[in-house]
Amino acid sequence: MTDPTIDAEALRAKVRERYAARSTSDEAGSGTPAATSCGGSSAGPCCIPKSGSLAMGYSPTDLTGLPPGADLGLGCGAPGELAALRSGETVLDLGSGAGIDCFIAARRVGPNGRVIGVDMTPEMLAKARSLAKASGEQCVEFRLGEIEHLPVADASVDVVMSNCVINLVVDKGQVYREAFRVLRPGGRLAIADVVATRPISTAMRADPERWSSCSSGAIRPDEISALLRSAGFADISIEIPSTNGPSESLRGPDEIGVVPAAVRATKPRRG
């Protein structure tokens, strides 16, 4: 999904700038950011305040023993839970940040599995690689790249997951096509992201500050379903939690109307 009135490069630059700053902020590693957005601004909704990562669906076990600094509190769900990861699987995390979901996934796939994180922000990548090295984690690697153009081979992973990142990309259809390309037949997509509950104005979508704070880049569930079907996915499921807790805390002060959702789909087996 693209909009000719949107300056994709300006939005991308703002996202990169925001996350570069977040990678070295004083809040890093707390999991309970002081503000309510991906990048530490009250303009948007992505992070959940007060209860931090536990409110996103992570278990206490998930958060115990993580490399210090891996949990930046930037997501809107727990994609590893959505994916039901199994021992020995190869997992790809789109927009891996400081690596929280990669490190949790590594525990679940075990020593015979493999986890790849891709992120476009060099500062985040350096942080994640440093944490992996310090923790001695052997089955996790982090690659620099854009999730619209994944540095990953065709049909090479079992699970593609992501946490509150795809909303930050202008061409979401390209992201899903890339996810389909790298998945093996029968592979699974498990995405935690924000979705729009009502129309978002063109002016809001064109605002780099709003966009980079995980608000104005959200699209409707039916639009996501259409993009997934177009990419080739089947068994598409988009669930919006019925509780008011995380959903209400994810609303920006301007009531832009985005809420967290769990997106699942599979790549059909052929032959």
- Residue 30 DSSP SS3: coil
Q: Could you tell me if residue 102 is inside a domain? A: yes
Contact criterion met (CB below 8 Å) for 101 and 133: no
Please give the model's pTM, rounded to 2 decimal places: 0.87
Q: Could you tell me if residue 271 is inside a domain? A: no
Contact criterion met (CB below 8 Å) for 70 and 103: yes
pLDDT tens track, the chain, 271 positions: 456 568 888 999 999 999 999 888 644 444 444 333 444 443 344 544 435 687 788 888 888 889 999 999 888 999 999 999 999 999 999 999 999 999 999 999 999 999 999 999 999 999 999 999 999 988 999 999 999 999 999 999 999 999 999 999 999 999 999 999 999 999 999 999 999 999 999 999 999 999 998 989 999 999 999 999 999 999 999 999 764 444 443 444 346 889 999 999 999 998 4
Contacts of 199 (CB under 8 A, 6+ apart): none
Q: Could you tell me if residue 166 is inside a domain? A: yes
Q: Which CATH number fits the domain that encloses residue 55?
A: 3.40.50.150
Q: Could you tell me if residue 209 is inside a domain? A: yes
Return d(Cα 7, Cα 15) in angstroms, integer: 13
Q: Could you tell me if residue 164 is inside a domain? A: yes
In this prediction, residue 4 carries a pLDDT of 59
* Total count of domains within the chain: 1
In this prediction, residue 250 carries a pLDDT of 44
DSSP assignment of 89-146? -EEEEET-TTSHHHHHHHHHH-TT-EEEEEES-HHHHHHHHHHHHHHT-SSEEEEE-B
**What values do phi and psi take at 175, rounded to 5?**
-60, -45
**What pairs with residue 160 in β-bridges?**
92, 189
In this prediction, residue 76 carries a pLDDT of 92
Which residue in this structure is represented by tokens 């598409």? 236
**197: enclosing H helix or E strand:** none
In this prediction, residue 8 carries a pLDDT of 87
Contact criterion met (CB below 8 Å) for 74 and 47: yes
Task: Please report, for residues 209, 218, 258, the alpha-carbon distance to residue 44 in angstroms, rounded to integers and kept in the order given.
Answer: 8, 11, 9
Q: Could you tell me if residue 68 is inside a domain? A: yes
Q: Which domain holds residue 215?
A: 8-266
Q: Could you tell me if residue 3 is inside a domain? A: no
Return d(Cα 98, Cα 72) in angstroms, integer: 7
